[in-house]
Structure 1
Amino acid sequence: MNQIHDTASARFGGWTTSTTLPPGVRDPSVTAADHAYRYLKDLIVTLELPPRAIITESEVATATGVSRTPVREAFFRLHSEKLLDILPRRGAVVPEITLRNIREQAETRLVMEGHGVERICAERIMVTDELLRLVEEQRTVLNEDPNRIVDMIRIDKEFHWTIVKATGNTEFAQLYNTLHDRQVRIGIAMFGAVRRRPCDAIDEHAHIAEALAEFNVDEALERLKYHLIGSLTQISGIFTN
């Protein structure tokens, strides 16, 4: 990930790739299937396995030290989460990240997070201190090392998760949380593809938090929409449809 800005055009262009998998050390308390699943998911979500990377059961089995049966289970589990596409008799391929993927997730999040904003403002729920703490934490990471993209995105996710869980609706929160892994993956891709995106995103978070501090629902919703939808203009020429 240290060279993510330099390789952004390669990651998201029309290309295929072969990948050497890093070794995965298994915790004895974790089943073989869970180990293979967690190992692969982490590589996919963090883009260490980039879009269009092709992997085989035997390659993953060798890297993780388990048999092919639990690897096959991991493949199908990741496929059900839209993090892997099965290639019959060939293995699997990491899905592309397209402009459509990003736009559809942004629109979905706007509906769900917008509901959180409305509840926070209507019920005057105090979340500002936590949001501003996360803004400063994210800014500190950026200032210390701009290449710590994965860390920044995990804080980014926590910022938005704080808005959603403030509703107190556990069903709603669980539904939103199903987006987690794809949300992190897309966030890492966007931060890596546009050099100024991390700084812009942090500033936009601060504006959202400030509007919520005043319980200004119209301003907060507008700021959220700009953050989620307006940011698409920065990446429209990088990701394909």
Structure 2
Amino acid sequence: MRYGRRVTETYEGSAVAPLPAADRAYLHTKRAILRGDLVGGQVVSEGQICDALGISRTPVHEAFLRLDAERLLALAPRRGAVVVPMEPQEARNVLEMREAVEGAAAARLVADGPAPAPLLERLRANLDRQRDFADAADTDGFIGCDEDFHAAVVTGSGNATAVHFFALLRDRQQRLRHQLLGLRPGELGVVLADHHRLLARLAAGDADGYRTELAAHVARHRGAL
């Protein structure tokens, strides 16, 4: 992402009316942080975002306040803001909670036997898309499908509390995914193979096996910390 020129973006693939300027600035900056385009410790000024999006400072300042509240930016007087690094301990905390929530959701999902056929078909279609993205070395597309795969398992459990907590972890999980696959782009195929094993456990109604495969899957993120 280059800040020396004005850019326009379409968010969430939407063709609806443009978002308010503050929302555009928030999504633009947040996406750059989660993707690693803005790295931990980097200083980013309101003026950079203004120039990139062609908007005034007021909505950018509002966006920075939101990101400060989410602990993605730390406001620095007279300097703009600093991207908050994701410390190893925070990353471990996120991964532990993610594993616990998803493992419990999967157990609920298969409590009465194999996961429902419609969900299994949805996950198989997702893995087909992951394979296409992996073959094309499209990390962004792959990461989007990765997120959808795990979110579908949690949502499919019908456990509203698990869905809520999983959503709270979403941004930091995405940041970790980009860190892992950005450092190890050759891992796309390995991660895809993990997902196939997870799907096989759901199809077999094997909650303990799912937890075992999930622990190995999450360990790949720990190894990149």
Q: Is TM (by shorter chain) over 0.5?
A: yes
Cα RMSD (Å): 2.2
Structure 1 residues 102-113: aligned runs within 5 Å: 102-113=91-102
Determine if the alignment matches structure 1 residue 202 to structure 2 residue 185.
no
Which residue number corresponds to residue 159 of structure 1? 149
**What is the letter of the counterpart of residue 46 of structure 1?**
R
**Pairwise CA distance, 1:172:** 3.1
Which residue number corresponds to residue 188 of structure 1? 178
Which residue number corresponds to residue 14 of structure 2? none
**What is the letter of the counterpart of residue 216 of structure 2?**
Y
Instruction: Supply the distance in 2 between the matched residues of 1:38 and 1:22 (Cα, whole angstroms).
Output: 18
Query: Given that residues 139 and 185 in structure 2 are in contact (C-alpha distance below 8 angstroms), is that contact kept between their aligned partners in structure 1?
Result: no
Query: Given that residues 128 and 210 in structure 1 are in contact (C-alpha distance below 8 angstroms), is that contact kept between their aligned partners in structure 2?
Result: no
C-alpha spacing 1:233/1:61, structure 2 compared with 1 (3 Å): closer
Instruction: Supply the distance in 2 between the matched residues of 1:129 and 1:164 (Cα, whole angstroms).
Output: 16
1:22-72 per-residue CA deviation (whole Å, 9 max, x = no partner) reads 524388742221121122122222222233221112222232222212111
Which residue number corresponds to residue 226 of structure 1? 216
Query: Given that residues 32 and 38 in structure 2 are in contact (C-alpha distance below 8 angstroms), is that contact kept between their aligned partners in structure 1?
Result: yes
Query: Given that residues 141 and 151 in structure 1 are in contact (C-alpha distance below 8 angstroms), is that contact kept between their aligned partners in structure 2?
Result: yes
**What is the letter of the counterpart of residue 167 of structure 1?**
S
Determine if the alignment matches structure 1 residue 119 to structure 2 residue 111.
no
Which residue number corresponds to residue 23 of structure 1? 6
Query: Given that residues 194 and 234 in structure 1 are in contact (C-alpha distance below 8 angstroms), is that contact kept between their aligned partners in structure 2?
Result: no
**Pairwise CA distance, 1:233:** 5.5
User: Which TM-score applies when normalising by structure 2?
Assistant: 0.86
* Partner of residue 31 from structure 2, selected from 42, 46, 59: 42
Which residue number corresponds to residue 6 of structure 1? none
Which residue number corresponds to residue 126 of structure 2? 134
Aligned length: 216
Which residue number corresponds to residue 172 of structure 1? 162
Task: Return 5+ residue gaps in structure 2 as ranges.
Answer: 11-16
Instruction: Supply the distance in 1 between the matched residues of 2:123 and 2:172 (Cα, whole angstroms).
Output: 22
Determine if the alignment matches structure 1 residue 87 to structure 2 residue 87.
no
Instruction: Supply the distance in 1 between the matched residues of 2:9 and 2:186 (Cα, whole angstroms).
Output: 38
1:103-147 per-residue CA deviation (whole Å, 9 max, x = no partner) reads 22111101110111111110333132222222221112111x22x
Comparing 155-164 with 177-186, greater Cα deviation is found at 177-186
1:57-110 per-residue CA deviation (whole Å, 9 max, x = no partner) reads 222223222221211110010122222222222111122233333322111101
**What is the letter of the counterpart of residue 214 of structure 1?**
A
Task: Return 5+ residue gaps in structure 1 as ranges.
Answer: 2-18
User: Which TM-score applies when normalising by structure 1?
Assistant: 0.81
**Structure showing the higher helix proportion among its residues:** 2
